[in-house]
Structure 1
Amino acid sequence: MGKRGRVAERRKTRPAVVGGVIAVVVGGVGFGAYALYGGGAAADEGSSTSAAQKAKAVRTGPLSATEVRTTAEHFLTAWQQGKVTQAAAATDDSAAATALLTGYAKDARIKGVTLTEGARTGAKVPFSVKATVSYKGTSKPLTYDSALTVVRRAEDGKPLVDWHSAVVHPDLKDGDTLVTGESGTPPVTALDRDGGKITAAKYPSLGTVLDGLREKFGKTAGGRAGVELRVVRGTSSKSAKSSDKTLLELSKGTPGEVKTTLSPTLQAAAEQQVSERKRASVVVMRPSTGEILAVANTSHGFNTAFQGSLAPGSTMKIVTSTMLFEKDLTSPGASHPCPKKYKLAGWTFHNDADSEIKQGTFKMSFGASCNNAFINFAPKLSDSDLTKEAQQVYGLGLNNWAIGVPSFDGSVPVQSGAQMGASLIGQGGVRMNPLNMASVASTVASGVFHQPYLVSPTVDHRTLAKASRTMSSKTQAELKEVMQYTAAYGTAAKAMAGLGPGYGAKTGSAEVDGQKKPNGWFTAYRGDLAAAGVVQAGGHGGDTAGPIVAALLKTGG
């Protein structure tokens, strides 16, 4: 039968109403929906249609409200009715959609799905999900909110759901799956250093930390697994060190206990501090041991404090200064101007607000965070000097920290030319997070790198990372001198007021492409406490992250 015959035959099929859209269903595929999107008989004639006619038929431009509504309704109605093939066909990645939607019913054991569309905003359509999860005679209701976005397919202009796993559940990343069954990992009860119970309800920042503790210690902490619906991370999420996540408990297991080093006083204070600013993260630790006493983030979906990878700005000048002092290239009191501009390998570097120090010491440049007083040392350095300093003295960038939960250990790649110069001031390819920079301040305070940890290595007999060498007492004294000067008289003075004299600090501002304000950094120590924080897109570190860090050092612990 020719194509014209097939089209004529389809037209004899009675129309049905699906989600308020008239659609003709043939073999489980909505032909009427296809016609609605600009297809139909003429488009089905294939070879008899000229290229010019086809090009003319392709819709372009913004999606209409009708296109968004009908596409969303078609997808949501098919999903609710369990018509996986039809739902997947309404997306721009039918294979991935088919796999996840099939697993939604088969592996996650979710049934009785009711999807309720919310108020649309442009091409975005929010919706709520009500369903039931059942496993071996046990059932529990499941409710959550999600959203989809409609896009226009480039080749034919057809509106489709922009497919990502998060459409099915907002906690899913692409490649993740949903599974209901007996948990492979028993639950854990996390305790603070005083034996108090840690919960995400009490400390919202610790949700990802609790997930990480369960993944690491669940099988060895003495608990028994229960039955749950959980997110099982895929390859991409595992590469990002994301842990599996429990979404719904059908039956409770027996948790084991894991004691952490967290201070209840400091953790509560850290949660309060970050809640007062957008996109803030902070870590507090003990220099003499490496114990992590608090970790908090404004946003609770990703642990920036432990896993972030951000340019640290001028806080990196602590590591740079360590290198310069060890090489006897300068000293705190050495005369060293900071020019307004400095050219290196075709780049022109500027100081903040084009400031300069014509007749001053290195300590003054450190305290004022004057960039070019550091970059103009570049011709005297090899490309790998900063990388070696970070690795050998501060234990950074070796990917071998074992703190008890997933963490990023910093990165100081070998670079040349202008990029090497930028690295000296914490830009270029240098990447850190508050955990890394709190460790840097801790190393200065104690004179020795103690790998940070959240769970004592005696719990599982793991080996903590060690630095290959220790800075000299002379270098430590010089670092303390410049950091104390900064805390007393430099860019950190306002935040650190009243915390002296046994203290030191360094501010930082890291420029980010496309961001109006820089990320504000601050790291400091006081006695046997050290802390570091970042406020993304907040502005200067002394004004943004500085008050957070200073408040926690004042709290003590």
Structure 2
Amino acid sequence: MGKRRRVAERRGKRPAVLGGMVTVVVGGAAFGVYALYGGGAAAEDRTATTAADHETPQVRTGPLTAAEVTGTANAFLTSWQQGQIARAAAVTDDAAAATSLLTGYAEDAHITGVTLTPGTPAGGRVPFAVKATVTYKDVTKPLAYDSALTVVRRAADGKPVVDWHASVVHPELADGDTLVTGESGTPPVKAVDREGGELSAAEYPSLGTVLDGLREKYGKKAGGTAGVELRTVRGEASKRKKVSDKTLLELSKGKPGTVRTTLSPTLQAAAERQVASRPRASVVVTRASTGEILAVANSGSFNVAFQGSLAPGSTMKIVTSSLLIEKGLASADKVHPCPKYFTYGGWKFQNDDKFHINGGTFKASFARSCNTAFISQAPRLDNDSLTRQAQQVFGLGMNNWSVGVPTFDGSVPVQSAAPMAASLIGQGGVRMNPLNMASVAATVKSGTFHQPYLVSSEVDGRTLATASRAMSAGTLSQLREMMNYTAAYGTAAQAMSGLGPDFGAKTGSAEVDGQEKPNGWFTAYRGDLAAAGVVQAGGHGGDTAGPIVAALLRMGG
């Protein structure tokens, strides 16, 4: 008996070999001996085989432990650093995508000597620093940037894995994008303002994406020669969002060609200062009579001013008013209903603070931004009435603007019932950005739609978008009267104080689900300038976007 016990004890201390890795069981706990993995989840996967291993595996649940997060992150980063792509990809929840991008990182982007240094985890997120070398032919440059990964439980078995996205490899990448080093597909450009001064993102921070767009469109046409660079190459998803390629590292300089823009250096500088004073603010200034874009600025990195897609709120009532006046459903100086509530399509609509106007004119309802004055006309409109008005008169929603850089050209989809009614006040499915709404104000001021542009069509012979018809003289006159009244006495009066008499404006507040305050909108014209701005989650447009727009209109130009 004693002999059998000693044999069993000796057998209990024999090492178990798992997948070529030696594991020693001591005191009932398994400790993995391995060169690559740093412990945690990876080590747990290499414990000694027991009878339980032959049972149906249990799906792990519950929050990730610190050991699981650090172990998984270390496994991925160590394998990537050592060039063991398949092993690194196996630690993610999308091995195929990870393998493709990590392989391209070395072979297409020519990045070598990678050193990855993890930082302090925060929950499942692990930041890390990247240092490497980019080499193309006889040109070499160091590369350094910060990135992060997130560890999650895999749905199938609960195993901790890296939640795979292209941004893990580089924060400038979206899923489907890749990295490439080589002679740039497009030569660099030197963008200049309307007076010939060079435009740079260092001086004008808002112009980063604009300059990228100018290079993409005009690099091959401006007479420059290509250099060597590490750059992003956008995938289909990014292209659909009109995101431009981006240079991440310049290994050797090309010779830039010159592209002249319509931007005003004084207005651009002022616009930068204005948006810097408020978070999530965007603004555009145009010349009403021509469509020239004189300034564009955003306080965030995304170009909301050109590419944003937001409900415009009551600024859309300019377009709706032109429709109602043309159809004889409203007239500026005639009495028009503004009840406290109006129900249509099963939705009950109301005004801000539930106000109502008894016996007031349509102009008064417009100036005070009465929602029900517009909603009440929904039963007398066709489902596509607003869509056709926006397209035919204001040039919106046809995806055919050719500005010179990528833009979103507004969307006014055909809707029915309650969503159609909501679209009359700039909610529902209507989506705009400051460029679109500046163009709306400019159309009222000039009397006809002029497609906004940043680069003259004479540079490349492209065709600018046009509207199929203009408003009648009577409709235009009433619309100008209403916008002028709003700027002088309505919700826009405080912001537009002292800018009259040749001015007009409209405020807007757009509710967003899950957002405490609405997006504040403001669009206006003064003289030959038209502008629009939005402050997301800022509150009422007259108080937020209004001062930004008015300050720029006050400068003239």
Query: TM-score, length-normalised on structure 2?
Result: 0.94
Name the amino acid aligned to 1:105: A
Task: Give the match's secondary structure for 2:486.
Answer: helix
Name the amino acid aligned to 2:549: V
Q: Name the residue aligned to 1:315.
A: 315
Task: Give the match's secondary structure for 1:141.
Answer: strand
Task: Give the match's secondary structure for 1:220.
Answer: coil
1:335-354 → structure 2 map (5 Å cutoff): 335-354=335-354
Q: Name the residue aligned to 1:244.
A: 245
Task: Give the match's secondary structure for 2:18.
Answer: helix
CA distance in 2, matches of 1:32, 1:470: 71
Once the two structures are TM-superposed, the CA of residue 9 in structure 1 deviates from its matched residue by: 3.5
1:396-545 → structure 2 map (5 Å cutoff): 396-545=396-545
1:296-311 → structure 2 map (5 Å cutoff): 296-300=297-301, 302-311=302-311
Q: Name the residue aligned to 1:388.
A: 388
CA distance in 1, matches of 2:530, 2:166: 40
Change (3 A) 1:247 1:214: same
Task: Give the match's secondary structure for 2:315.
Answer: helix
Once the two structures are TM-superposed, the CA of residue 15 in structure 1 deviates from its matched residue by: 7.1
Change (3 A) 1:23 1:394: farther
CA distance in 2, matches of 1:503, 1:162: 53
> Contact 1:129–1:144 (CA<8 Å) still a contact in 2?
yes
Name the amino acid aligned to 2:83: G
Once the two structures are TM-superposed, the CA of residue 94 in structure 1 deviates from its matched residue by: 1.0
Q: Name the residue aligned to 1:3.
A: none
Say which of 39, 43, 50 aligns to 1:36: 43
Name the amino acid aligned to 1:86: R
Q: Highest CA radius of gyration, 1 or 2?
A: 2
Name the amino acid aligned to 2:18: R
CA distance in 2, matches of 1:468, 1:436: 17
Once the two structures are TM-superposed, the CA of residue 69 in structure 1 deviates from its matched residue by: 1.3
CA distance in 1, matches of 2:517, 2:126: 31
CA distance in 1, matches of 2:512, 2:411: 17
Q: Name the residue aligned to 1:150.
A: 151
Q: Which runs of 5+ in 2 are unaligned?
A: 1-14, 25-29
Q: Name the residue aligned to 2:12.
A: none
> Contact 1:310–1:433 (CA<8 Å) still a contact in 2?
yes
Q: Name the residue aligned to 1:10.
A: 18
Farther-moved stretch of structure 1 (59-68 vs 137-146)? 59-68
Q: Deviations over 1:352-400 (max 9, x none)?
A: 1111112211111101101000000011111111001000000001110
CA distance in 1, matches of 2:50, 2:364: 74
CA distance in 2, matches of 1:380, 1:170: 51
CA distance in 2, matches of 1:511, 1:353: 14
Once the two structures are TM-superposed, the CA of residue 22 in structure 1 deviates from its matched residue by: 7.2
Name the amino acid aligned to 2:66: A
Change (3 A) 1:11 1:218: closer
Once the two structures are TM-superposed, the CA of residue 153 in structure 1 deviates from its matched residue by: 1.1
Once the two structures are TM-superposed, the CA of residue 40 in structure 1 deviates from its matched residue by: 3.7
Once the two structures are TM-superposed, the CA of residue 154 in structure 1 deviates from its matched residue by: 2.0
Q: Name the residue aligned to 1:63.
A: 64
Change (3 A) 1:511 1:43: farther
Q: Deviations over 1:436-481 (max 9, x none)?
A: 0000000000001000000000000000000000112211110111
> Contact 2:194–2:260 (CA<8 Å) still a contact in 1?
yes
> Contact 2:279–2:299 (CA<8 Å) still a contact in 1?
yes
Q: Name the residue aligned to 1:279.
A: 280
Query: TM-score, length-normalised on structure 1?
Result: 0.94
Name the amino acid aligned to 1:377: Q
Q: Which runs of 5+ in 1 are unaligned?
A: 1-6
Identity of aligned residues (%): 70
